[in-house]
Amino acid sequence: MERYKILDELGDGTCGSVYKAVNVETSEIVAVKKMKRKFYYWEECVNLREVKSLRRLNHPNIIKLLEIVRQNNELFFIFEYMEHNLYQIMKDRKQSFSEEEIRALMSQVLQGLAHVHKHGYFHRDLKPENLLVTNNIIKIGDFGLARELSSTPPFTDYVSTRWYRAPEVLLQSSSYTPAIDMWALGAILAELFTFCPIFPGESEIDQLYKICCVLGAPDWNTFPEATNISRLLNITCSDIMPADLSDIIPNASMEAIDLIKQLCSWDPLKRPTAEQCLQHPFFHVATWVPRSPGDALQLTLGSEPNLELNLWDFGTSTDDCFLGLTLAVNPSAPNLGRDMAHKNQGAKEDLMICPGLIDHSSQSVFWSLFPSNHHVITTSVEPSLSLSFSSAPNPSIGGPQAAGFAMATFQSNILERPLLATSAPFTQGHYL
């Protein structure tokens, strides 16, 4: 430890204390976690769950363990340094996060967690304090309670901070799955909107009561392996009705509310996996494009809406993971679309695309709007309006954003004449 100089104490936990330090040889700023118990053998150190898991998990959204030092029977973990944790950011922030910021943060966490689960571990202690942030990059930290998926039950019932603890853990189920991590992420997602915990129980019984007040009473058959189901019986005998999440989180979109509902499901089997969450519509919403100044873009093709874009829903499997789009043009010219009536029944065409899916560029769609001569489409004309989906980095957060709209520069007179919409495949690329 002579190579490290302690600069400041960052936190103190049950198992150890964390300090900010500098490597005097390289000037690198690091985080040093000093374990509170003594370690007399090196084998004890390398067999710790935190060490075993982090040695296997290498991902941009998982904290990096740089070095392990044992000195005078004291054990030190040397981590990469992260400036903040998510709890500190929410506590110090005066303005709420935008949904775009929440989407970028959560997508990074989900990518890291998907890597954890894929490599045979679950975290068991996800909470805002254990999500570390530097320059809008967020990483999962503190793997002290992590366990292998192959571990033999029964598991320890006391895992995770109470507010983010899944009901099956509160009810002392003899076994549980990575779904407990997904429950915690649902609670964190809700908190990112409100800066307040959604289930702030003051005890384990009160925690269950707080969950019932939001979700309503569960199905009695949901927890067949629970050893303390009497806790729930005492609470739900009054048939508590579920609350409307939109009232609790008024600044959340319908997509965000739906994702929180799925993650915070009483039934662990109904909670989506981390990979499934990344395909949820919450991470594939369109970016709003404001109207240019003045009335240059005002529709002049009639009093009724002429351009209509409807978003449908995603499926849960890869083959069903599509976004349905409907583009309709209702021109004032009576002959427009007559030649395409056998295809679209009045210039209305349904299209299916697969945004943000690797190696699915052939299933993507590029739309162009061209001036119409009432009978034919001149495909050599440069598109004045284009919509496309692809993966692109988010400039404000730094994390990947799954999909969005891109619009080419409008011509000031683009909508002053009849238009016809067509579709054609486009080469995979970044349009945002």
If one counts the domains in the chain, the total is 2
The 10 Å CB-count burial string (b at 16+, else e) for 142-168 is bbbbbbeeeeeeebebebbebbbbbbb
Residue 259 main-chain phi, psi, to 5 deg = -65, -40
- Give me the pLDDT at residue 236, please: 56
Strands 147-148 and 121-122: antiparallel
My answer on whether 98 and 235 are in the same domain is yes
My answer on whether 88 and 150 are in the same domain is yes
My answer on whether 75 and 88 are in the same domain is no
pTM: 0.66
* Catalytically active residues, by annotation: 125
The answer to whether the beta carbons of residues 176 and 268 sit under 8 Å apart is yes
Residue type at 402 in one-letter notation: A
- Give me the pLDDT at residue 155, please: 54
Q: Could you tell me the CATH number of the domain that includes residue 113?
A: 1.10.510.10
> What residues pair up with 371 in beta bridges, in sequence order?
419
Residue with tokens 């996996």: 273
- Give me the pLDDT at residue 232, please: 61
My answer on whether 76 and 93 are in the same domain is no
My answer on whether 184 and 163 are in the same domain is yes
My answer on whether 70 and 102 are in the same domain is no
My answer on whether 64 and 90 are in the same domain is no
Please name which of 35, 185, 175 lies closest in space to residue 109, comparing C-alpha atoms.
185
The last residue of a domain, from among 241, 267, 283: 283
223-238 tens-digit pLDDT: 656 555 566 666 655 5
- Give me the pLDDT at residue 219, please: 76
CA distances from 277 to 220, 243, 271 (A): 26, 23, 9
Residue type at 419 in one-letter notation: L
> Tokens representing 313?
């829903």
Can you give the pLDDT of all 432 residues of the chain as single tens digits? 889 999 999 988 778 899 999 999 999 999 999 998 899 999 889 889 899 999 999 999 999 999 999 999 999 999 999 999 999 999 999 899 999 999 999 999 999 999 999 999 999 999 999 999 999 999 999 998 898 887 655 555 455 578 999 998 888 777 778 999 999 999 999 999 999 999 999 988 889 889 999 998 887 667 656 555 566 666 655 578 889 999 999 999 999 999 999 999 999 999 999 999 999 999 997 644 444 444 434 444 444 444 444 444 444 454 444 444 444 444 444 444 444 444 444 444 444 433 443 444 444 443 434 344 444 444 444 444 444 444 444 444 444 443 444 333 334 444 444 434 333 343 343 333
> Tokens representing 163?
């507010």
> Tokens representing 253?
């979109």
My answer on whether 50 and 101 are in the same domain is no
* CA pair distance 20, 130, nearest whole angstrom: 16
Which helix (H) or strand (E) covers residue 393, if one does? strand 392-393
The 10 Å CB-count burial string (b at 16+, else e) for 20-38 is ebbeeeeeeebbbbbbeee
- Give me the pLDDT at residue 137, please: 97
My answer on whether 115 and 58 are in the same domain is no
Within a domain: 141: yes
Residues 6+ apart with CB under 8 A from 11: 17, 18
Note down the domain range covering 100.
84-283
Give CA 86 to chain center in angstroms.
Answer: 14
My answer on whether 138 and 61 are in the same domain is no
